A and B are shown apart, each in its own frame.
Chain A
């Protein structure tokens, strides 16, 4: 079946540290992959996406590359800020139906 696994949190970093949040997936076919972010008290927002192998999604300094060979879509940012503190969800859309399958979410806490 289709599933998404994220690294467990919380992840606590100091400002300007390098961030990696691991995400691996299991899917049939060729899914689209997404990272969503949820800031405190707000709804999920699309952070970035990739629709095919080797695509790199990027936004607000965050990047993730669709790696088919390792079935991964790890989220990275070179220098985090306190304002990046949020919950990050990795998700896949297995057949472009819009039915997103989410990972369990990873809480990021950035300290000044």
Chain B
């Protein structure tokens, strides 16, 4: 099946710094990618929909200036957590949708903000 990668797989940063997470579809083109956030023992919560060549659409309650999304190409979307704080510590997961509208998920990125 199709493969989606995320980089890095985990990151530790100091409070106030920015962190960029990459999501790549390795063997297919994805006009749409999704970013999710998962807290321990909780479900995945959709943060935003990333569309190639246009602005991302954010879910209610998600700060667009805090979580910057760039879908620069058909195989790459990036999520930048700006001025990270400890409450941003979480597991971030992306998915990419192919032409058959099947979503393939990345393995996730664990962020710890100290």
Give the interface of A toward B (CB within 8 A).
4, 36, 41-46, 89, 96-105
Contacts and interface: CB of A to CB of B under 8 A. Distances in A.
A104 B41 contact: yes
Nearest to A34: B103
Contact of B4 (A43, A96, A105): A43
Given A43-B105, A43-B108, A46-B103, 11 more contacts: A43-B4, A43-B93, A44-B93, A44-B105, A45-B105, A97-B49, A98-B101, A102-B43, A104-B42, A105-B41, A105-B43
Contacts of A99: 34, 46, 49
Interface string B35-65: 0100001111110010000000000000000
Secondary structure class of chain B's binding surface, majority of residues: strand
A46 B101 CA distance: 12
A89 B93 contact: no
Interface string B95-114: 10100011111111000000
B43 A100 contact: no
Contacts of B49: 97-99
- Candidate in B6, B44, B102 with the most chain A CB atoms within 10 angstroms: B44
B97 A45 contact: no
Contacts of B78: none
A12 to B, nearest CB: 16
Nearest to A36: B105
Contacts of B46: 99-101
Nearest to A97: B49
A79 B1 CA distance: 25
A99 B95 CA distance: 10
